């Protein structure tokens, strides 16, 4: 019997969290696998942990104070799971991602196909099925559309990701330096450097609508004081975390260039928009 720890972190999205868990538990039991769920409650105030405890009492809920955001919340869930048991697999799952009925079967079949040595990423599509939203990523291309076979990728979004024990032993947990975003990209880039293979599954495995691409920190219609605040929020574009990521994976020169350009984009967003249009 193989073991899988499903990892989530949640904050005040009760309805989505419950729907996410319902979709997941509809796939269980999974023949040949024991599946446990570890969920970080990052200080929810909307009754999410209470509702989870009532409807899904088998979920292991870890309570936090509301300062973890996505990356550190996932780190906490993963750390708790890894200390509880030596799992064969760890499955990242975003609570706004609603998986399809084939998700676990496709992921575990891909794990068998790759001898449990590769990270397997599941692509998601918008809820209106108009396009791919998250998944594995290729440099300068974006997210490839699943074509029925495993496709090697360079890094990935963290919505649906199956990580085998062999990869965890090499890479360890997420980098706690990152607060919200960038931790998933960093993990994939670290995997690439370490020679850990990464593949996107051949089928779309769930639904998740894409977040807005035009952030407030670079929106000229937003007052500067608010842009500056949003820039430095954990779920904005925190310059120090961006610098940390790019120094690690692109070198000090590119990290410095982007550190400056991010600030210029916040200070002078109209110029940036005109430049992009040109």
Residues 124-150: tens digit of each pLDDT: 999 999 999 999 999 878 899 999 999
- Round to whole Å and give the CA distance between 189 and 155: 6
Q: Is the pLDDT of residue 277 over 60?
A: no
Model confidence pLDDT, tens digit, residues 199-211: 999 999 999 999 7
pLDDT on residue 216:
84
Exposure b/e, 251-260, CB count within 10 A at least 16 = b: eeeebeebee
Q: Assign 212 a pLDDT band (cuts: 50, 70, 90).
A: low
Q: What is the pTM of this model?
A: 0.93
Q: Is the pLDDT of residue 110 over 60?
A: yes
The mean per-residue pLDDT over the stretch 111-127 comes to: 97
Q: Assign 278 a pLDDT band (cuts: 50, 70, 90).
A: very low
Top pLDDT among 266 and 272 is at: 266
- Round to whole Å and give the CA distance between 163 and 5: 10
Q: What is the mean pLDDT of the chain?
A: 94
Q: Domains for the chain: give ranges and CATH numbers.
A: 2-207 (3.90.550.60), 216-277 (no CATH)
């Amino acid at each position: 019997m193989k073991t899988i720890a499903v990892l989530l972190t949640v904050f005040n999205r009760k309805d989505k969290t419950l729907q996410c868990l319902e979709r997941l538990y509809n796939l269980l039991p999974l023949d040949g696998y024991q599946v446990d769920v570890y969920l970080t409650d990052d200080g929810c105030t909307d009754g999410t942990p209470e509702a989870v405890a009532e409807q899904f009492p088998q979920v292991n809920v870890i309570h936090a104070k509301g300062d973890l955001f996505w990356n550190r919340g996932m780190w906490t869930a993963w750390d708790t799971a890894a200390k509880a048991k030596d799992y064969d697999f760890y499955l990242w799952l975003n609570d706004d991602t609603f998986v399809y009925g084939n998700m676990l079967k496709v992921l575990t079949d891909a794990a068998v196909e790759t001898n449990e040595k590769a990270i397997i990423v599941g692509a998601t599509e918008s809820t209106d099925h108009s396009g791919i939203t998250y998944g594995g990523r290729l440099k300068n291309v974006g997210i490839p559309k699943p074509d029925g076979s495993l496709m090697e990728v360079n890094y990935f979004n963290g919505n649906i990701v199956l990580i085998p024990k062999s990869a965890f032993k090499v890479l360890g947990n997420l980098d706690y330096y990152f607060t919200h975003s960038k931790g998933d990209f960093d993990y994939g880039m670290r995997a690439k450097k370490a020679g850990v293979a990464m593949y996107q599954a051949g089928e779309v495995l769930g639904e998740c609508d894409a977040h807005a691409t035009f952030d407030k920190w670079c929106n000229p219609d937003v007052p500067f004081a608010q842009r500056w605040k949003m820039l430095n929020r954990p779920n904005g574009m925190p310059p120090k975390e961006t610098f940390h990521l790019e120094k690690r994976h692109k070198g000090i020169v590119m990290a410095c260039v982007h550190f400056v350009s991010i600030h210029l984009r916040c200070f002078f967003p109209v110029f940036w928009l005109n430049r992009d249009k040109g």
